[in-house]
């Protein structure tokens, strides 16, 4: 038994599944999880001293790679002034002004402590602003673990066999309507069935929690039109795509404007941060300005703000990062397709910007049904083989791979060499 396995034995005694977030338990890939001791650039090290090329990147925040000096030094400086005050600070104003500058259509920002909290609050605001109860989400999309969004969810809820969670009362779930990603008619049917009752349509502009599935041309534009016609607000959950696809996120990348936008991950630079944003008219309905209540002890935490502000400022000053990481991801995706073809293994690799996902299926993956039909057992064997070759992928099929600015050609080539060795064994 290696040290990770020994530690896991202790962990399961005191933590449900031995983890503080389900996907980390490696249940979808059938092995004991790696316990990480440190990270630097594109690398992780585990308790057994093994080094891995990291494509989880903390599930998205580490767009510049781990332990980036600009972010580390900003945190070190902030810590010296104190960890938390429960009072407004200059940095909260600075990061909010920067997000208003960079994100299309955003006039005001409210900081919270996670993507879940951001989405939960944005849905409450949509309901409060419209006076409507229903929301429309998409099967296989994941928006955090707030009650009304744990319905046909993706990510680890799906991988773990509970896309709709126990403990959520039917009285709450009944207001959450489910459509199909890339199927505008499924959205129109729900809006027609519940005229004047849908507060918002919430979507991951790029579905990244069923694996990566790109929006069909016209899909996001179609959602915009349907929302305008029905009076529902369009809510882009950009916890993954925000500051990842472009500085202005998916709104900039696809040229489609949402009414509300949620963020997490990258805006915290690795610290716990989420945010929901929108027009002044909408956001000034949030307490203390308006009747929609939301609060948080550690919201806008000064150390977390320092990390987030450092990362967003760096990205603004180095926009070339986006072309770099997208090119790296495209090169990797092409290499994976070639390696799988040479091994005679049916693999569909979806890639957009610095996000990519391999699906073990002979078909194209353009909808949730395609992703769900992929061979998750083969993915598990692929994961284990790549890990043995020093490459740490998402420990579940219904996740994304993240490429950072710290991944160099050397790591990408090592990743392809590992894939060429592993594909023929699957
Ligand atoms: P958090 O509460 O985990 O910060 O964010 C929830 C969330 C909201 N919206 C989207 C689009 C998300 O992808 C997430 C969280 N992403 C998962 C990865 N699929 C986080 C990893 C985990 O659950 O451990």
Nearest residue (CA) to ligand 1, atom 15: 144
Which domains are assigned to the chain?
Answer: 3-67+319-425 (3.90.1150.10), 69-317 (3.40.640.10)
The answer, yes or no, to whether any atom of ligand 1 lies below 6 A from the CB of 115, is yes
Distance in angstroms (rounded) separating the CA atoms of residues 125 and 148: 14
Give 121-159 as a DSSP string: HHHHHHHHHHT--EEEEETT----S-GGG-SS--HHHHH
Catalytic-labelled residue, pool 265, 276, 370, 379: 265
The answer, yes or no, to whether any atom of ligand 1 lies below 6 A from the CB of 140, is no
Nearest residue (CA) to ligand 1, atom 6: 144
Contact 322, 353 (CB under 8 A): yes
Contact 312, 243 (CB under 8 A): yes
C-alpha angle 29/33/34, rounded to 5°? 125
pLDDT score at 164: 86
C-alpha angle 286/205/314, rounded to 5°? 75
The answer, yes or no, to whether any atom of ligand 1 lies below 6 A from the CB of 138, is no
Give 315-332 as a DSSP string: HHH-THHHHHHHHHHHHH
The answer, yes or no, to whether any atom of ligand 1 lies below 6 A from the CB of 142, is yes
pLDDT digit string, tens, across residues 143-154: 999 999 998 888
The answer, yes or no, to whether any atom of ligand 1 lies below 6 A from the CB of 357, is no
The answer, yes or no, to whether any atom of ligand 1 lies below 6 A from the CB of 59, is yes
- What would the two tokens of residue 128 be? 């409060």
237 catalytic residue (yes or no):
yes
Query: Rounded to the nearest whole angstrom, what is the distance from the C-alpha of residue 341 to the centroid of ligand 1?
Result: 32
Token pair 């990408």 is at which residue?
Answer: 412
pLDDT score at 154: 87
The answer, yes or no, to whether any atom of ligand 1 lies below 6 A from the CB of 261, is no
Token pair 């020093």 is at which residue?
Answer: 390
Query: Rounded to the nearest whole angstrom, what is the distance from the C-alpha of residue 143 to the centroid of ligand 1?
Result: 6
328 catalytic residue (yes or no):
no
Catalytic-labelled residue, pool 142, 253, 276, 322: 142
Cross-strand pairs, 355: 352, 402
The answer, yes or no, to whether any atom of ligand 1 lies below 6 A from the CB of 209, is yes
Going by their DSSP bridges, the two strands 233-237 and 260-263 should be labelled as parallel
Catalytic-labelled residue, pool 54, 237, 259, 370: 237
pLDDT score at 153: 86
Q: Among the atoms of ligand 1, which is closest to the Cα of residue 209?
A: 19
pLDDT digit string, tens, across residues 186-213: 999 999 999 999 999 999 999 999 999 9
Query: Rounded to the nearest whole angstrom, what is the distance from the C-alpha of residue 70 to the centroid of ligand 1?
Result: 25
Is the pTM higher than 0.95? yes
Best of 24, 159, 203, 209 for a ligand 1 pocket test (most atoms within 8 Å of beta carbon): 209
The CB-side HSE value for 249 (13 A sphere, CA atoms) comes to: 33
**Ramachandran angles phi, psi of 342, nearest 5°:** -65, -30
The answer, yes or no, to whether any atom of ligand 1 lies below 6 A from the CB of 206, is no
Q: Among the atoms of ligand 1, which is closest to the Cα of residue 272?
A: 4
133 catalytic residue (yes or no):
no
Query: Rounded to the nearest whole angstrom, what is the distance from the C-alpha of residue 81 to the centroid of ligand 1?
Result: 30
Token pair 């603004």 is at which residue?
Answer: 316
The answer, yes or no, to whether any atom of ligand 1 lies below 6 A from the CB of 240, is yes
- The mean predicted confidence, pLDDT, of the chain is 97
Q: Among the atoms of ligand 1, which is closest to the Cα of residue 156?
A: 23
Q: Which residues of the chain have pLDDT under 50?
A: none
Best of 111, 157, 264 for a ligand 1 pocket test (most atoms within 8 Å of beta carbon): 264
């Amino acid at each position: 038994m290696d040290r990770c396995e020994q530690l896991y034995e202790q962990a399961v005694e005191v933590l449900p599944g031995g983890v503080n977030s389900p996907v980390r338990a490696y249940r979808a890939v059938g092995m004991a999880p790696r316990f990480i001791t440190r990270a630097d650039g594109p690398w992780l090290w585990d308790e057994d001293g093994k080094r891995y090329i990291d494509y989880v990147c903390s599930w998205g925040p580490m767009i510049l790679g781990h332990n980036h000096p600009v972010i580390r030094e900003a945190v070190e400086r902030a810590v010296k002034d104190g960890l938390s005050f429960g009072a407004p600070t200059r940095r909260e104003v600075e990061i909010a002004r920067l997000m208003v500058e960079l994100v299309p259509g955003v006039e005001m920002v409210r900081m919270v402590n996670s993507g879940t909290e951001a989405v939960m609050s944005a849905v409450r605001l949509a309901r409060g602003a419209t006076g409507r109860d229903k929301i429309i989400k998409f099967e296989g999309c994941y928006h955090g673990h707030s009650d009304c969004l744990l319905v046909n969810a993706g990510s680890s809820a799906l991988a773990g066999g509970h896309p709709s969670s126990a403990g959520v009362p039917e009285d709450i779930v009944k207001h959450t309507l489910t459509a199909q990603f890339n199927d505008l008619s499924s959205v129109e049917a729900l809006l027609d069935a519940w005229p004047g009752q849908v507060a918002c349509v919430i979507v991951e502009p790029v579905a990244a929690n069923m694996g990566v599935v790109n929006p069909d041309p016209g899909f996001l534009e179609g959602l915009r039109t349907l929302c305008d016609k029905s009076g529902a607000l369009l809510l882009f959950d950009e916890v993954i795509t925000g500051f990842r696809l472009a500085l202005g996120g998916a709104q900039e990348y696809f040229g489609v404007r949402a009414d509300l936008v949620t963020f997490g991950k990258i805006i915290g630079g690795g610290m716990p941060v989420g945010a929901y944003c929108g027009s002044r008219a909408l956001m000034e309905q949030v307490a203390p300005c308006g009747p929609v209540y939301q609060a948080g002890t550690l919201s806008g935490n000064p150390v977390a703000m320092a990390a987030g502000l450092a990362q967003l400022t760096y990205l603004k000053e180095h926009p070339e990062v986006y072309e770099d990481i997208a090119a790296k991801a495209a090169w990797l995706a092409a290499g994976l397709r070639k390696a799988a073809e040479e091994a005679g293994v049916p693999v569909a690799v979806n890639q957009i910007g610095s996000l990519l996902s391999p699906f073990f299926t002979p078909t194209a993956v353009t909808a949730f049904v395609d992703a769900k039909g992929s061979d998750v057992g083969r993915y598990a064997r692929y994961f284990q083989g790549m890990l043995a070759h020093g490459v740490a992928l998402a420990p579940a099929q219904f996740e994304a791979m993240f490429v950072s600015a710290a991944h160099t050609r050397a790591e990408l080539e090592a990743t392809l060499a590992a894939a060429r060795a592993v594909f023929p064994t699957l």
